[in-house]
Amino acid sequence: MCSRWRQESVTVTAIVNTSMQIQEERQGDVQIITIDDHLDTSTATLFEARLLGMIDRGTRRILLDCTALSYVNSAGLKVLLLATKKLEPFHGELILCSLSQNVLMIFEMIGFTRIMKIVPDRETALKLFTQLPVS
């Protein structure tokens, strides 16, 4: 199922609005999404459409690189929660990496660190994916 996606990385950039950019790139069967700036009420709707659309099209391994993400609120967290729940029946995985201190604080406060796989960097995340059973 994933063989179709085992190709060289492809980068697609979409400018959502001034406060967020979503970049997609593929590494093996892992879809890497890079988001920046604010994941809040104004950007959550589009991010939700992209992320959930990806899962609907069969993507099961998603790495969300949050290096450049400076803020997330409950609307953005809702999208992450929704994606996680959507992947569960397929044994898919959403891993977050490189969270800034500020974002990590929010995650911790709300308890998202307890329900989401959060790793320090990409390498760790990709290694983690290889250790997971192939879906």
Q: Point out which residues bind another protein (CB under 8 A).
A: 19, 38, 40-42, 44, 71, 73-75, 77-79, 81-82, 85-86, 88, 108-112, 114-115
Residue placing its CB nearer to another protein in the complex, 66 or 77: 77
Least separation in angstroms between residue 126's CB and another protein is 26
d(CA 116, CA 76): 14
Residue placing its CB nearer to another protein in the complex, 36 or 40: 40
Q: Is the dihedral of CA 132, 129, 27, 71 positive or negative?
A: positive
Residue placing its CB nearer to another protein in the complex, 79 or 126: 79
Least separation in angstroms between residue 71's CB and another protein is 7
Least separation in angstroms between residue 79's CB and another protein is 7
The three-point CA angle 89-3-14 to 5° equals 80
Spatial strand order of the sheet with 93-97 comes to 12-17, 20-27, 30-39, 61-72, 93-97, 117-119
One-letter amino acid at 80 equals L
